[in-house]
């Protein structure tokens, strides 16, 4: 029976998306809401009720679809489904007055289908298919507001996504070829022995790096995540960004050998992202942009963990599990922060609720910073055991940096709340609270329930202290900085999307140069050459008479009729010849 | 003559007779003409389905008799011909519906539909030709029957396009003819045979075979729009939309590509051709064409012209798959024969609808068209994603096999070509989709060329576009199914390699 349970998590949202495509704006709101509430439920059920090892093979679908439930898939599916489910409920409330709500939900559910599908995919083409569905549907979320900034973000998102897809596809072709198999489980084993191992790993790192906000390929992310409607930002930054991490976990040959050089590359890029994003994020004024930079920074931390796993063959399974826990924590907390931006706007006029919302946001921020007892801290403390000591210190520094960045976010959102005049709105407030609750309790339930023995749950008092001091340092620093806050506005500013400006200008120039110097002259030359050949074969004046006459004849109805009478007679003649032996 | 001998002939005759009857029909009898057209198309479809069923059960269909000079006229059904025959008759059926809707009330319809039927006769003949001579006859017949369709509008522009078309194809035909006759003189009978029939001849002939190969490929390359022989194709798009659709998907361009498949597989044999070193130049030519077509498509504002350059690029995928040695690559090339047809015909159907209903002919004029014509634009979107190679639309299955095949044959640089083409395809299709769905309408829509109708465009135009779009989606989504074009392509490819 597990077949249906593995199909429905992606097929049902896909069907919901199609229904909304067909129904369009004329679909009754009640139906749309009901479908939206249920879309993520099959995924949640699969995560809860299936066991690792459950699988399904559907030979007719795509080039033969394999669906695999593994521990990694299960943990990812669990937090992904929970985040999508709560965000769906939030989105129904949030999008109530949006005129393009039907288009929003169509793209939204297609993204959900891609997201759950790629987690469960057991063969390479299916993974690519789900990844592509999610990427292209994501475009619809990014440009939803249809204003200039969302268009620019969408353009950059799509250009980079297409490049990412191309890199991923190359990696996939190489992996499938080397492994002589379409199945991820089998094909992966061939990577270490392949002469192209480094190439494959680089392509996987970069290709999925586009989605995961790898330093240097992250530019689209701080532009695209914030311009989408708030619920879309939450799933983009909470769940869909993790597709890049899944790609790394599924397609890098971790646990099959040790790659010290590549490991250091990952760690270096991870730290660049972790600190660079904080530095640039600090200069932003828009709260959602700050959160997006924080996501880039957090993905950097996850890449560091991946890098550590690649250097130690035995550590890989444990690192995979702790990444699941870390990713879940980040998904819930980042989701709660993004959704919280919307909630904060709606409760601005009520002092009591304002306190509740601010406390909730602080909790979520602490969870990301790695404050004690949160999923982030639990995962990080396990990671520090396997990490080289320099890396471990780096991770502590990154905790301080993250605390600073999120503190800045909180300060800005607090300032904004006083200006906002929206009405409070239970439809978005309640799912947000539930999400916060999930963030707090999920590690304490999930880790024992799934018997994740490699994760140490019971922290010693000293452990709490260790986790607490980077966060406290961060808070202290922000307190000091606030006294000097007047200076802050004189800081040099890097606009959101940092490297993008450079690339946009370069692309524009190259395109113009290409047209001017290559495309146009080449075409002219070719035409001239062909014309010259034709003229050589057939002189100008003759052409105009003979050809013209022929054309006139052909256009003449009777002439064409006669021609075809002739043809039939030939045909009949041939037939008679054939009939006589 | 038994049914098995007659069936291939009947398949050819079903459109030939229809065409002839239509020629003699007075212009004003629109209903009779439509009925005749649909009857012919339906009959052909039914016959072809019977044939598919028969082949599936292991029946053989062959019709053969001698014509002059020891040439045999042979119609024979093997799996490869089944691939193209099925594609042609299915797409002809829908294109006929579309054409009836498209040309409603326009002059010279008897002439148009007459030649239209003959054109399909020719393309079905090309598919079922059992030897090179028969292939050549139908191939040239195709040239003659499409010319009047290209110049149908009779404007100066279309006459010029027709002239160019005729020049290119006639010259190509002449080169092909030289190749065919030369080969006939050397080896006698030219019956297509799985894994080829030239391998057995002594090595002293190999030099001539090499020259003949290039003569044949150049002759076929004109219709298959291989660079630099593609010049006629972007010009010929002045033809009415159903003609462009047919030209780009099943008839002329496909005949060229199919001819290349036949020559490489069933005349030379792919392994023998590889031994002679004939495949690498073909790989290089097709690779260049793929990139060239895409680059040119980037800057075209005229929608049909952009699609035409896209065809230049996409059809070369077929020849590319054929020219790279290896089972997987062959599967990719063969299946693209079908996939490209389904997707490109959808795109041209949609382009025709935009021109008919809103007088929109340029990409820049398509801003906001998604809201005005959502169903048409949805169909266009599916096909465009397929062209880029985004799963689950059909194009992905082709690209995946081509890419994997390139690796298997030790030519990884071909992947670079495929990726470049993917990026370029995205570069010229995604802006169209963006303009259509996400930009605001800029100027008033032009007037419709048809009577007001219930949906966004007459059902006769909308229905075929939707069906072919769904077909491109379904063949991709269920590529692994036993009845899919991919399964058929795999079965064909398996037979083309010497065990």
- Omega within 30 of 0 (cis) for the link into B228: yes
Q: Which site among A562, A564, A568 would you substitute to test the B interface, given the most B Cβ atoms closer than 10 Å to its Cβ?
A: A564
Task: Please compute, for residue A564, the number of CA atoms within 13 A of its CA located in the half-sphere on the CB side.
Answer: 24
The DSSP result for B334-399, as a single string, is HHHHHHHHHHHHHHHHHHHHHHHHH---BSGGGTTHHHHSHHHHHHHHHHHHHHHT-TTSTHHHHH
| Residues of chain A positioned with their CB less than 8 A from the CB of B422 | 162, 165-166, 169
pLDDT of residue B204: 84
**For chain A, how far is it from start to end, CA to CA, in angstroms?**
64
Residue A348 confidence (pLDDT): 67
Query: What CA–CA distance (Å, rounded) separates B477 from A133?
Result: 13
Nearest to A60 among B110, B147, B478 (CB): B478
The answer to whether the CB of A234 falls within 8 A of the CB of A338 is yes
Tokens of A132: 């592509």
Q: Using the predicted structure, report yes or no on whether residue B320 has a pLDDT greater than 90.
A: yes
Number of structural domains (chain B) is 1
Closest CA to A270 of A246, A295, A301, A241: A301
Please check whether residue B168 lies inside any domain of the structure: no
Q: Is residue B153 part of a domain?
A: no
B229/B365 Cα distance (integer angstroms): 30
HSE-up (13 A, CA, CB side) for residue A322: 29
Does any CB of chain A come closer than 8 Å to the CB of residue B61? no
Q: Say what the pLDDT of residue B406 is.
A: 92
* pLDDT reported for residue B162: 85
CA distances from B128 to A118, B55, B262, B323, B334 (A): 43, 13, 11, 22, 16
Give the tens place of pLDDT for each residue, B27-71: 788 888 888 888 988 999 999 999 888 888 888 888 888 776 667
Q: Are the Cβ atoms of B151 and A555 closer than 8 angstroms?
A: yes
Please answer whether residues A233 and A225 qualify as being in contact, where contact means their C-beta atoms are separated by less than 8 angstroms. yes
B367: in domain: yes
**Tell me, what's the pLDDT at A93?**
86
Q: How far is A521 from chain B (nearest CA, A)?
A: 12
Q: How confident is the model at residue B244 (pLDDT cuts 50, 70, 90)?
A: confident
Q: Which residues of A touch B66 (CB under 8 A)?
A: 577-578
**Residue ranges of the domains in chain A?**
1-239, 255-492, 499-537, 543-581
Cα–Cα dist B319/B316, whole Å: 5
Residue B415 touches chain A, beta carbons under 8 Å? yes
Tell me whether residue B143 is in a domain.
Answer: no
Q: What is the pLDDT of residue A1?
A: 55
Is A382 in contact with A308 (CB distance < 8 Å)? no
- How many pairs of residues across A and B have Cβ atoms under 8 Å apart? 128
Q: Is residue B121 part of a domain?
A: no
Highest mean pLDDT range out of A517-531, B233-247, B441-455?
Answer: B233-247
Write down the residue that tokens 């749950």 correspond to.
Answer: A457
Query: Most distant CA pair in chain A: distance in Å?
Result: 108
CB A411 within 8 Å of CB A339 = no
DSSP-derived 3-state class of residue A354: helix
Q: Look at residue B253 and tell me if it is in a domain.
A: no
Cβ contact A523–B296 (<8 Å): yes
- For residue A569, what pLDDT is reported? 58
Q: What is the pLDDT of residue A443?
A: 84
Phi-psi sector, A336: left (phi>0), alpha (psi -120 to 50), beta: alpha
Residue B347 located in a structural domain: yes
| Residue B305 is assigned to a structural domain of this protein | yes
- Residues B480 and B476: their CA atoms lie apart, in Å, by 9
Report d(CA A337, CA B429) in Å as an integer. 37
B410 touches chain A (CB under 8 A): no
**Contact between chains at A63 and B480 (C-beta distance less than 8 A):** yes
Confidence at residue A418, expressed as pLDDT on a 0 to 100 scale: 64
Of B248, B485, B473, nearest in space to B382 by CA: B473
ipTM of the shown complex:
0.91
Residues 479-498 of B with CB under 8 A from A: 479-482, 484, 486
Contact assessment for residue B277 and residue B323, using Cβ atoms and an 8 Å cutoff: no
Residue A547 gets which letter from DSSP?
A: I
Give the residue from chain A lying closest to B12, CA to CA: A571
Residue-wise pLDDT tens digits, B95-147: 999 988 888 878 888 888 888 888 889 999 999 998 898 999 899 888 888 88
DSSP string, A408-449: HHHHHHHHHHTT--PPP-HHHHHHHHHHHHHHHHHHHHHHHH
Would you call A564 and B477 a contact, using CB atoms and an 8 Å cutoff?
no
| Neighbour tally for B436: CB within 10 Å | 27
In chain B, whose CA is at the least distance from the CA of A176?
B404
Instruction: Compute the nearest-CA separation of B477 from chain A (Å).
Output: 5
Mean pLDDT by 10 residues, chain A (581 residues): 86 92 84 91 92 89 90 93 94 85 91 95 94 93 88 89 92 92 90 90 94 89 88 92 94 88 92 90 87 92 92 88 91 92 77 85 89 82 80 87 89 75 71 90 84 72 73 81 63 70 77 78 76 63 51 49 56 50 37
CA–CA min distance B483, chain A (Å): 9
What pLDDT sits at residue A579?
A: 44
What's residue B169's pLDDT?
A: 86
Q: Please state the length of chain A.
A: 581
Report the pLDDT value the prediction gives residue B7, as an integer from 0 to 100: 87
The answer for residues whose C-beta is within 8 angstroms of residue A131's C-beta and 6 or more apart is A114, A118, A165, A168, A211, A243, A247
**Separation of alpha carbons A222 and A7, rounded Å:** 33
Beta bridge partners of B199: none
Compute the distance between CA of residue A256 and CA of residue A200 in angstroms, rounded to an integer.
14
Mutate to test the interface with B, among A56, A60, A153, A569 (most CBs of B within 10 A): A60
Amino acid A581: pLDDT: 37
Buried b (16+ CB within 10 A) or exposed e, A3-32: eebbbbbbbbbbebbebbbebeeebeeeeb
Query: How close A131 comes to chain B (CA, Å)?
Result: 9
What pLDDT does A485 receive?
59
CA distance B402 to B283: 12
Whether residue A114 contacts residue A135, with contact meaning beta carbons closer than 8 Å, is answered with yes
- In this prediction, residue A558 carries a pLDDT of 45
Residues linked to residue B74 through DSSP beta bridges, in sequence order: B64
Phi, then psi, of A63 in degrees rounded to 5: -100, 40
**Domain span at B486:** 278-499
pLDDT for residue A22:
86
pLDDT score at A462: 67
């Amino acid at each position: 029976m597990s077949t249906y349970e593995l199909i429905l998590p992606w097929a049902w949202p896909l069907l919901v998306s199609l229904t909304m495509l067909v129904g369009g704006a004329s679909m009754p709101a009640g139906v749309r809401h009901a479908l939206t509430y249920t879309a993520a439920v099959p995924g949640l059920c699969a995560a809860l009720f299936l066991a690792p090892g459950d699988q399904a093979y559907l030979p007719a679908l795509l080039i033969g679809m394999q669906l695999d439930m593994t521990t990694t898939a299960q943990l990812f599916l669990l937090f992904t489904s929970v985040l999508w489910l709560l965000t769906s409920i939030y989105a129904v409330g949030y999008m109530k007055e949006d005129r393009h709500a039907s288009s929003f939900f169509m793209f939204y559910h297609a993204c959900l289908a891609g997201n759950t599908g790629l987690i469960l995919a057991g063969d390479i083409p299916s993974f690519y298919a789900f990844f592509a569905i999610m990427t292209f549907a994501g475009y619809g979320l990014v440009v939803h507001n249809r204003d200039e900034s969302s268009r620019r973000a969408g353009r950059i998102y799509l250009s980079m996504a297409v490049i990412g897809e191309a890199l991923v596809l190359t990696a996939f072709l190489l992996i499938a070829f080397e492994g002589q198999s379409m199945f991820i489980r089998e094909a992966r084993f061939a990577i270490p022995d392949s002469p192209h191992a480094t190439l494959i790993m680089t392509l996987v790192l970069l290709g999925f790096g586009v989605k995961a906000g790898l330093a240097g390929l992250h530019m689209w992310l701080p532009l695209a995540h914030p311009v989408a409607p708030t619920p879309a930002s939450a799933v983009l930054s909470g769940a869909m960004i993790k597709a890049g991490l899944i790609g790394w976990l599924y397609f890098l040959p971790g646990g099959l050998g040790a790659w010290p050089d590549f490991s250091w590359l990952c760690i270096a890029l991870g730290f660049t992202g972790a600190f660079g994003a904080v530095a640039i994020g600090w200069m932003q004024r828009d709260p959602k942009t700050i959160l997006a930079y924080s996501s880039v920074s957090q993905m950097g931390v996850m890449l560091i963990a991946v890098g550590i796993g690649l250097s130690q063959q035995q550590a890989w399974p444990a690192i995979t599990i702790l990444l699941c826990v870390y990713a879940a924590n980040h998904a819930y907390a980042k989701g709660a922060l993004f959704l919280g931006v919307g909630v904060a706007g709606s409760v601005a006029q009520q002092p009591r609720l304002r306190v509740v919302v601010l406390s909730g946001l602080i909790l979520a921020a602490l969870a990301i910073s790695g404050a004690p007892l949160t999923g982030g801290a639990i995962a990080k403390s396990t990671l520090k055991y396997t990490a080289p000591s320099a890396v471990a210190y780096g991770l502590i520094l990154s905790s301080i940096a993250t605390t600073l960045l999120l503190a800045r976010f909180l300060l800005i959102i607090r300032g904004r709340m006083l200006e906002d005049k929206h009405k409070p709105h239970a439809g978005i407030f309640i799912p947000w609270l539930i999400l916060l609750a999930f963030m707090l309790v999920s590690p304490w339930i999930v880790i024992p329930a799934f018997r994740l023995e490699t994760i140490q749950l019971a922290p010693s008092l000293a452990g709490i202290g260790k986790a607490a001091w980077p966060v406290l340092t961060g808070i202290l620093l922000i307190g000091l900085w606030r006294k000097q806050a007047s200076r802050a506005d004189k800081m040099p500013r890097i606009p959101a999307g940092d490297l993008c400006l450079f690339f946009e200008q370069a692309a524009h120039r190259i395109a113009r140069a290409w047209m001017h110097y290559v495309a146009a002259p080449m075409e002219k030359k070719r035409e001239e050459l062909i014309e010259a050949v034709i003229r050589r074969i057939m002189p100008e004046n003759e052409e105009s008479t003979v050809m013209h006459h022929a054309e006139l004849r052909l256009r003449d109805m009777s002439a064409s009729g006669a021609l075809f009478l002739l043809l039939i007679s030939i045909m009949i003649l041939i037939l008679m010849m054939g009939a006589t032996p | 003559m038994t049914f098995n001998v007659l069936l291939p002939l009947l398949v050819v005759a079903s459109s030939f007779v229809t065409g002839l009857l239509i020629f003699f029909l007075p212009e004003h009898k629109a209903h009779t003409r439509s009925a005749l057209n649909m009857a012919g198309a339906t009959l052909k479809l039914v016959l072809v389905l019977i044939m598919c069923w028969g082949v599936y059960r292991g029946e053989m269909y062959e019709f053969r008799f001698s014509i002059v000079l020891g040439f045999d006229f042979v119609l024979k059904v093997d799996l490869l011909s089944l691939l193209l025959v099925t594609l042609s008759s299915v797409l002809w059926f829908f294109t006929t519906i579309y054409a009836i809707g498209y040309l409603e009330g326009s002059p010279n319809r008897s002439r148009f539909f007459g030649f239209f039927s003959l054109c399909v006769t020719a393309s079905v003949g090309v598919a079922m030709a059992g030897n090179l001579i028969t292939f050549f006859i139908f191939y040239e017949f195709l040239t003659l029957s499409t010319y009047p369709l290209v110049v149908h509008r009779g404007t100066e522009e279309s006459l010029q396009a027709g002239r160019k078309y005729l020049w290119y194809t006639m010259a190509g035909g002449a080169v092909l003819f030289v190749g065919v006759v030369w080969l006939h003189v050397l080896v006698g009978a030219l019956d297509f045979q799985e894994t080829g029939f030239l391998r057995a001849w002594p090595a002293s002939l190999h030099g001539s075979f090499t020259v003949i190969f290039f003569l044949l490929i150049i002759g076929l390359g004109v219709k298959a729009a291989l660079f630099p022989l593609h010049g006629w194709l972007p010009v010929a798009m002045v033809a009415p939309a159903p003609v462009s659709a047919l030209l780009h998907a099943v008839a002329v361009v496909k005949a060229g590509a199919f001819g290349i498949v036949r020559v490489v597989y069933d005349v030379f044999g792919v392994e023998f051709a590889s031994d002679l070193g004939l495949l690498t130049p073909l790989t290089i030519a097709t690779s260049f064409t793929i990139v060239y077509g895409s680059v040119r498509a980037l800057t075209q504002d005229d929608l049909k012209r952009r699609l035409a350059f896209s065809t230049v690029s996409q059809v070369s995928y077929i020849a590319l798959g054929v020219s790279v040695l290896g089972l997987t690559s062959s599967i990719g090339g063969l299946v693209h024969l079908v996939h490209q047809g389904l997707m490109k015909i959808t795109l041209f159907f949609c382009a025709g609808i935009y021109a008919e209903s809103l007088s929109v002919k340029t990409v820049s004029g398509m801003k906001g068209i998604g809201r005005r014509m959502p169903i048409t634009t949805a169909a266009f979107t599916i096909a465009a994603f397929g062209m880029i190679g985004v799963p689950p639309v059909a194009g992905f299955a082709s690209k995946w096999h081509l890419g994997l095949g390139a690796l298997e044959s030790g030519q990884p640089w071909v992947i670079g070509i495929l990726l470049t083409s993917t990026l370029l395809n995205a570069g010229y299709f995604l802006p169209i989709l963006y303009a259509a769905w996400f930009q605001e309408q800029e100027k008033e829509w032009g007037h419709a060329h048809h009577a007001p109708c219930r949906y966004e465009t007459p059902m006769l135009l909308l229905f075929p576009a939707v069906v072919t779009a769904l077909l491109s989606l379904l063949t991709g989504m269920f590529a692994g199914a036993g009845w899919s074009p991919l399964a058929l392509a795999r079965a064909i490819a398996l037979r083309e390699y010497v065990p």
